[in-house]
Structure 1
Amino acid sequence: MGIFKIEGGLPLQGEVQPQGAKNEALQVLSAVLLTPEKVTINNIPDIIDVNKLIQLLGNLGVKIQKNTPNSYTFQADEVNLQYLETEAFKKEGGSLRGSIMIVGPLLSRFGKGYIPKPGGDKIGRRRLDTHFEGFIQLGAKFRYRREDHFYGVESKGRLKGTYMLLDEASVTGTANIVMAAVLAKGVTTVYNAACEPYLQQLCKMLVAMGAKITGIGSNLLTIEGVECLNGCVHTILPDMIEIGSWIGLAAMTRGEITIKNVSWENLGVIPSTFRKLGITLERRGDDIYIPAHTNGYEVKTDIDGSILTIADAPWPGFTPDLLSIVLVVATQAKGDVLIHQKMFESRLFFVDKLIDMGAKIMLCDPHRAVVMGHDFKSQLKATIMTSPDIRAGISLLIAALTAKGTSTIQNIDQIDRGYERIDERLRALGANIVRM
């Protein structure tokens, strides 16, 4: 596996274009299985997780044409369902968390969908119950082989629309259920549905393909099943998680960065959350301009003067994928912040490395950490680190870019799973980073 060597302490400066959204890509790429017609998807991020899913689609028999580095045309007119029962599929599907997203489309169109226990980040338990309970309510039969952790759902004939109240507002669970319901017979109503922008994008793409979906953007979706879907052209939104990462990088390195074409209307509370940390953001058209914070940034307390608490919540709340970035940015703020990671019980364990670098962090329990900012009066110290997951990896990279000395980050495949050519783009902004 590769490593990054980073010489910290250099302010970043320039313009950066955010990549396409990873979480949207995994959903809309799976949706190409719903039609035998051609589907063109633009702004696909060139990252490990997305490329693995494209390879998986190809092994399933989907015809794939690469138009540009970030645009592909897919045609699923000769899908090889036998591949789902091969050892190669078990290995390939098990290495990718996003492989779960193919089950809904396969079940809906072909009457069966299988998946090995998906891999991905080691950030705590990630339930699949919402997905499969939704499929069962649509009329599918569920089976699970414990000996090889292999899941399956099957249906004789078309799925049947129904009313369901999801036990949690799971983004991937909602997406999978919606993709299963669009070809079902009758009307499906999904209450407590996720309503993130990327789920909205999936629904809009399905509507362009001929699906009948109402309530897009709310937590109550109504899907009227249709006989078949057509092809379409779809463009993926910029990645809000990467946009938040660039904001954090600019503030921590006290650099001056413009993030281009961010789709402001789909950022939700992300800009206001960073402003609570004292970070200055300017909206310039559809760009975000972050000036150099030469005097640092000061945390805003609550109205009653109590410590600022930043917690994750379902959309339109703050996304859990940015809590790791907020935490590392808070290490150099003026003031204290309580970070409350509600969803995953292992996501905050990377703070040990930040503490080794000199950050003042008190880990209260697996879900909460108090960060006491240095106000740039004490620079973090370089060290050797290992990236445990995508978001912790980029947070450690941000810390290394502001630290004194040369840091080494191992297991950078984790970072490459979610960030496109991150080292090249950082060097274009003036960072001293080498991939080895």
Structure 2
Amino acid sequence: MASFEVIGGNKLKGDIYPQGAKNEALQILCAVLLTSEPVVISNVPDIRDVNKLIELLQDMGVKVERNAPDTYTFQADDINLEYLNSDQFVEQGRAIRGSVMIVGPLLARFGKAKMPKPGGDKIGRRRLDTHFIGLEKLGAKFNYDTPDAFYSATAEKLHGTYMLLDEASVTGTANILMAAALAEGTTTIYNAACEPYIQQLSRMLNRMGAKVSGIGSNLLVIEGVEKLGGTEHRMLPDMIEIGSFIGMAAMTGSEITIKDCQIPELGLIPDTFQRLGIKMEFRGDDIFIPEQDNYVVDTYIDGSILNISDHTWPGLTPDLLSVALVTATQAKGTVLIHQKMFESRLFFVDKLIDMGAQIILCDPHRATIIGLNKQIPLRGIRMASPDIRAGVALLIAALSAEGTSIIDNVEQIDRGYQNIDGRLNAIGAQIRRI
């Protein structure tokens, strides 16, 4: 198990480039199973979860060629469905939650799929009902083996239908969308997720020959086609990493430029950090964060305390609440963070309290942060990363803290952030992997 030794208190300066979007990559990689023709994907992040999924696809029979550090060609013209019965597949599938999105493409193209109950972050219950109910409405039949926690599904032929999703699940929408692309007839998905990741997947499918309309809305209409072809696709920059760098710059009082951000795709992310008092300038497609001695939290018009909460897109993504929370600890003012979607995601605040942050954990979903206005720096401690996003929030805290911090279990951070220690050290951080 690796750890980071972080010497805090250093100001950072320079340019930093965000990686390709992790959450988009997991969907796009599964979509290569929909065609026997080559699919070229670029701006692929070199992170643990993505690399594990690429390994899984390879072991299933997908031909994978790495054309450049961030560009791959995939060709799924000889899939070995028997591999789904192997112990190795069970182990691989359970290692990453995104692997559940192979089910829709396999059902659509081959009429059968299997999937162990996937793992991922320990941030609370993350049910898969939306995936399975949607695929069942298209004509699939599911069986769940409780002792082995293993799902199997079959479908002689998928048929388009109308469905109203019980939740706007991003991965659920992606799974159903991919299956519907090869279903017979028209599928209408209401209350569909409309995150940029889903928009990117929809546009990629259309380039492959699918007929998806309503892109960018919560009402998707998919006219099924008999066959899909190859295409080329480039990932968006990772919006979660961009938000993390904004918070990091403010916490450490640094001047950095985040390059090639695709600003129109960031939604409320810049607005949210601006409400925390962080100044930023949009320079073309770059975001410049000037050095700030302090940043003052906004209030509502009536003077009441700012409430930052997550919501389905175009609301604020839940993946950035951990970063917003840690950033608020050194702001001037008080913030209520309301994490609605996952009941275990705020439990990492005990580490921040040990570092000297003024936080009241109201309940599993809400925390009140009383900003220290950089008058009392956080102090370095030893801690462990519980999940990807909390892990990077703790790394930001350690970078701003006085003294040395040790962060254990940094494999969690590696799951979502590419060479984060090397890239931050290049602009002045002192992080040593041990």
TM over 0.5: yes
| Structure 2 equivalent of residue 373 of structure 1 | 371
| Structure 2 equivalent of residue 229 of structure 1 | 228
Question: Which residue type is aligned with residue 229 of structure 1?
Answer: L
1:60-79 to 2 correspondences below 5 Å: 60-79=60-79
1:214-253 to 2 correspondences below 5 Å: 214-253=213-252
Q: Deviations over 1:160-188 (max 9, x none)?
A: 00000000000000000000100000000
1:360 correspondence with 2:358: yes
Question: Which residue type is aligned with residue 89 of structure 1?
Answer: F
Q: Deviations over 1:229-265 (max 9, x none)?
A: 0000000000000000000110000000000000011
Question: Which residue type is aligned with residue 190 of structure 2?
Answer: Y
In structure 1, C-alpha distance between the alignment counterparts of 2:115 and 2:202, rounded to whole Å: 23
In structure 2, C-alpha distance between the alignment counterparts of 1:284 and 1:88, rounded to whole Å: 48
Quick one: percent identity of the two aligned structures? 66
Question: Which residue type is aligned with residue 306 of structure 1?
Answer: S
1:32-431 to 2 correspondences below 5 Å: 32-156=32-156, 158-294=157-293, 296-431=294-429
Contact 1:246 1:259 in 2 (8 A): yes
| Structure 2 equivalent of residue 434 of structure 1 | 432
If the length of structure 1 is used for normalisation, what is the TM-score? 0.99
Q: Deviations over 1:14-72 (max 9, x none)?
A: 00010000000000000000000000000000000000000000000000000011100
In structure 2, C-alpha distance between the alignment counterparts of 1:4 and 1:321, rounded to whole Å: 22
Q: CA deviation at 1:113?
A: 1.2
Q: Secondary structure at 1:143's aligned position in 2?
A: strand
Contact 1:117 1:149 in 2 (8 A): yes
Q: CA deviation at 1:412?
A: 0.3
Question: Which residue type is aligned with residue 381 of structure 1?
Answer: R
Q: Secondary structure at 1:261's aligned position in 2?
A: coil
In structure 2, C-alpha distance between the alignment counterparts of 1:423 and 1:22, rounded to whole Å: 17
In structure 1, C-alpha distance between the alignment counterparts of 2:416 and 2:395, rounded to whole Å: 13
| Structure 2 equivalent of residue 2 of structure 1 | 2
Q: CA deviation at 1:91?
A: 0.8
Answer with 90-99 or 183-192: which moved more. Answer: 90-99
Q: Secondary structure at 1:400's aligned position in 2?
A: helix
In structure 1, C-alpha distance between the alignment counterparts of 2:369 and 2:337, rounded to whole Å: 8
Contact 1:362 1:370 in 2 (8 A): yes
Q: CA deviation at 1:400?
A: 0.3
Q: CA deviation at 1:122?
A: 0.1
The alignment of Structure 1 onto Structure 2 pairs a total of residues equal to 434
Q: Secondary structure at 1:283's aligned position in 2?
A: strand
Q: Secondary structure at 1:369's aligned position in 2?
A: strand
Contact 1:135 1:153 in 2 (8 A): no
In structure 2, C-alpha distance between the alignment counterparts of 1:260 and 1:374, rounded to whole Å: 30
Question: Which residue type is aligned with residue 57 of structure 1?
Answer: L
Q: CA deviation at 1:415?
A: 0.1
Q: Secondary structure at 1:426's aligned position in 2?
A: helix
Q: CA deviation at 1:402?
A: 0.5
Q: Secondary structure at 1:124's aligned position in 2?
A: coil
Question: Which residue type is aligned with residue 264 of structure 1?
Answer: I
Q: Secondary structure at 1:274's aligned position in 2?
A: helix
Contact 1:32 1:74 in 2 (8 A): yes
If the length of structure 2 is used for normalisation, what is the TM-score? 1.00
| Structure 1 equivalent of residue 29 of structure 2 | 29
Q: Deviations over 1:174-206 (max 9, x none)?
A: 000000100000000000000000110000000
Q: Deviations over 1:87-107 (max 9, x none)?
A: 110111011111101111001
Question: Which residue type is aligned with residue 52 of structure 1?
Answer: K
Residue ranges of structure 1 left out of the alignment (5+ in a row): none
Contact 1:282 1:289 in 2 (8 A): yes
Q: Deviations over 1:275-329 (max 9, x none)?
A: 00000010000000000012x0000000110000000000000000000000000
In structure 2, C-alpha distance between the alignment counterparts of 1:247 and 1:198, rounded to whole Å: 21
In structure 2, C-alpha distance between the alignment counterparts of 1:390 and 1:49, rounded to whole Å: 11
Q: Secondary structure at 2:323's aligned position in 1?
A: helix
In structure 1, C-alpha distance between the alignment counterparts of 2:152 and 2:187, rounded to whole Å: 22
Q: CA deviation at 1:153?
A: 1.3
Could you say what the CA RMSD is over the residues aligned between the two structures, in angstroms?
0.4
Following superposition, which runs of at least 4 residues in structure 1 exceed 3 angstroms of deviation? Answer: none
Question: Which residue type is aligned with residue 70 of structure 1?
Answer: D
Question: Which residue type is aligned with residue 267 of structure 2?
Answer: G
